[in-house]
Amino acid sequence: MTSDPMEAFFQLHRDLPREGPGEPQDVAWAAKVAGLSPDAQMADVGCGPGGDIAALLDAAPRGHVTALDKTPHFVAAVRRDWQQEGRVTVLKADMKAIHNSYDMIWCAGAVYFMGVKAALEAWRKSLTANGVVAFSEACWLTDNPSARARALWDGEYPNMTDAVGVQQQISDAGYDILGTRRVSDAGWEAYYGPLEARIAMLRPQADAALSEVLDVAAEEIACWRAHRDEFGYLLSVVRPK
């Protein structure tokens, strides 16, 4: 029997440390740009398996992280790993409906589910007086991407724009930009390295549905390694005007 495509997706992504490119230095940089206090209240929105929680706790040694995701598998993984940490609260919740107030809302690679402008507008009410949103967003780094890169992102994120487009959406949402930087190659490898190893592990016993999922993921990795100068993630720290 062929497995369900969604089941196959989570079979591939089960127990990965991250669900997108990033590294602890991204969080540290964002906290410095924001002037984050040691006792900051933080939300990790669309937290996935919790790959950034440790870095967020390091950024605010007396602070607290509310990690939320609507995917049960990820919520269970974060609860398993962080249930003994009193400075972490894990919620099964939709990123479209954030409650409470935070000094920093962190969102690594998940803003595209809502769109930059819509997300920033929705989250504004959940920021403290000097609160910030720090998020990474996929964007083009060239005006003339290759057919291979275009094919990848037309399937993944057809509305993807460039850095100027991202910055315009931030401005349209009524925010000032405190700083931007690209997620490094090391951040991409932090995601793709474990993903690549899991693809290799699953190949021998993969059925048709899983094989298709593995092929798509392998092409994504190969495309980035061949065309990394054409697209990337822009990390932005923004504050309401």
24-63 per-position pLDDT tens digit:
999 999 999 999 999 999 999 999 999 999 999 999 999 9
- pLDDT (average), residues 130-138: 98
Q: Is the pLDDT reported for residue 3 higher than 90? A: no
- Separation of alpha carbons 71 and 92, rounded Å: 7
> Which residue has 């990965």 as its token pair?
16
Check residue 54 and give its pLDDT: 98
Residue 236: its H or E element: strand 231-240
Sequence-distant (≥ 6) Cβ neighbours of residue 7 within 8 angstroms: 209
Average pLDDT, the chain: 96
174-204 per-position pLDDT tens digit:
999 999 999 999 999 999 999 999 999 999 9
- Separation of alpha carbons 167 and 62, rounded Å: 32
Q: 226 vs 136, 141, 153, 220, 230, CA distance in Å?
A: 21, 14, 14, 10, 9
Check residue 14 and give its pLDDT: 87
Check residue 152 and give its pLDDT: 96
- Separation of alpha carbons 217 and 199, rounded Å: 8
- pLDDT tier, 172 (very low <50, low <70, confident <90, very high otherwise): very high
Q: Tell me what percent of the chain is helix, strand and coil, each rounded to the nearest 5.
A: 45, 25, 30
140-171 per-position pLDDT tens digit:
999 999 999 999 999 989 999 999 999 999 99
- Separation of alpha carbons 2 and 117, rounded Å: 40
Check residue 86 and give its pLDDT: 95
Burial class (CB in 10 A: 0-12, 13-18, 19+), 103: buried
Check residue 171 and give its pLDDT: 98
Identify each DSSP E strand in 76-142 by its residue range. 88-92, 102-108, 127-140
- Separation of alpha carbons 161 and 167, rounded Å: 10
Q: 71 vs 34, 78, 96, 163, CA distance in Å?
A: 29, 11, 14, 29
The residue among 136, 150, 116 whose CA lies nearest residue 232 is 136
Check residue 1 and give its pLDDT: 41
Check residue 8 and give its pLDDT: 92
* DSSP summary character for residue 86: T
Sequence-distant (≥ 6) Cβ neighbours of residue 15 within 8 angstroms: 49, 77
